[in-house]
Amino acid sequence: MSPLFELRDVHFGYYGQPSCLNGVSFCLQTGERLGLVGANGAGKSTLLHLMVGLNKATSGSIVAFGREFQTEEDFKLLRRRIGLVFQDADDQLFCPTVAEDIAFGPLNLGYGKADAMKIVDEILDVLKLTALRDRVTHKLSGGQKRLVSLATVLAMRPEILLLDEPTNDLDEDTRERLIEILIGLPQTMLLVSHDRAFREAVTTRVISMKDGIVVS
């Protein structure tokens, strides 16, 4: 079976800096929850951003859902099917309230207000976050923000979820809840995490990055 998402010999460097992805290749198979590890600065976040078109590869190819993605128009379509939960929740949340933040994606996809609100309530229910519905987003705790970030991404109903260090700064209870939520979700996932116990609980396979390539 062909992979759901594949990077082939992808290169990328930030402007004016030495290249930080030096030929990354790996496959993400349908249904797997793939872990990605690597030292600080190894390029893990850069790679996730590249997978959704926020960084543009200088060479190599990105193949997903049976086709290649190259232009910004291509990536606009891809971002409807693959959702990134950022390392920093403050990069994800920008609306006054939790419900507005979660509704933003569906409204942007063209859902009417009533349908978007229905999605908001469904997602809040699945994540057991209904109590936060009308809270002011920027006043939430770090852990609450992380779960709301996940809710904003799930509201777009992606087929693939990318999560960048999702357990950072979570208390033990929230971390356990996140593990339970992720294990219960149907999406194919790529999870960047330094947290070994979290990886052991959630991932089905682990790859690592070193010197700008995937080494295993």
Ligand X SMILES: Nc1ncnc2c1ncn2[C@@H]1O[C@H](COP(=O)(O)OP(=O)(O)O)[C@@H](O)[C@H]1O
Q: Is residue 55 a contact point for Mg ion (CB under 5 A)?
A: no
Distance (Å, whole) CA 156 – CA 151 = 9
> Nearest-CB residue to Mg ion?
45
Instruction: Mark 21-40 with x for binding to ligand X (rule: CB under 6 A) and - for no binding.
Output: -----------------x-x
Distance (Å, whole) CA 101 – CA 179 = 23
Q: Measured between alpha carbons, how far is residue 127 from residues 78, 81, 150, 194, 201 in Å?
A: 25, 20, 9, 24, 18
Q: Is residue 178 a contact point for ligand X (CB under 6 A)?
A: no
Q: Are 210 and 38 in contact (CB under 8 A)?
A: yes
Q: Is residue 46 a contact point for Mg ion (CB under 5 A)?
A: no
Q: Measured between alpha carbons, how far is residue 94 from residues 66, 108, 200, 202 in Å?
A: 33, 14, 32, 29
Which tokens belong to 106? 């569906």
Q: Is residue 137 a contact point for ligand X (CB under 6 A)?
A: no
Least distance in angstroms from the C-beta of 62 to ligand X: 17
Least distance in angstroms from the C-beta of 24 to ligand X: 11
Q: Is residue 152 a contact point for Mg ion (CB under 5 A)?
A: no
Least distance in angstroms from the C-beta of 57 to ligand X: 14
Q: Is residue 167 a contact point for ligand X (CB under 6 A)?
A: no
Q: Which residues bind Mg ion (CB under 5 A)?
A: 44-45
